[in-house]
Amino acid sequence: MMHAILIGDSVFDNGAYVSGGPDVVRQLRALLPGDRAMLRAVDGAVLADVPRQLADLPEDATHLVVSAGGNDALQASGVLDGPARSVAEVIERLASVQDRFRAGYRAALDAVLARGLPTAICTIYDPRYPDPIRRRLAATALALLNDVVTREVAARGLTLLDLRVLCGEDADFANPIEPSVRGGEKIAAAIAAFLREEAGRSHGRIIARS
């Protein structure tokens, strides 16, 4: 029997945003008859919260799925509004944000890998801000942070769930930064695919379809 543990933020803990509809973990359980899924993710959590979510895991836990870093990106988003004298200055500020994010992400992944369980990691999806300029700026800046995610995941041989592709439509979002029932359905299906196909793999893969 599989027992998947969902770690991270409101990408998984989206129950407050789906107006009584099923959240991600309920949708995942429906796809895994006979198996189990536990929600340890917490709305608003940041990378530094990951070790606490990993504490005292059930003894029968078999897999971890992690979606974290989006709130760290949100906390750093003020860099998009600051004045600048040159493009080089802007790039230097973004590079500094990326460096801090990399340090936090590596620490979180180290804590995850210390559990010794098969693991899938999610990218940070592009937010659906109503203002098209804000949306474009956020997606461009997030590309720098997702570069950290993909490189760190690849270096560790983990499976990557690319939420940028999976949740590529406005209908996948309940608000600019949380998944709707439809988006949650796609995320749950990708997690289920990872759980079913992980057995026997010696290296990770990229899942970008539900």
Distance CA 104, CA 134 (A): 25
- Residue 3: beta bridge partners? 36
Complete domains list, the chain, with CATH: 3-207 (3.40.50.1110)
Mean pLDDT in consecutive groups of 10 residues from the start of the chain, 210 residues: 96 96 97 95 98 95 97 84 77 88 97 96 96 92 96 95 96 96 98 81 71
Q: How many CB atoms lie within 10 A of CB 88?
A: 9
Q: What is the pTM of this model?
A: 0.92
Contact (Cβ atoms closer than 8 angstroms) between residue 1 and residue 35: yes
According to the model, what pLDDT value does residue 73 have? 92
Q: Where are the alpha helices (DSSP H) in the chain?
A: 24-31, 50-54, 70-75, 87-113, 132-155, 163-166, 181-197
According to the model, what pLDDT value does residue 199 have? 53
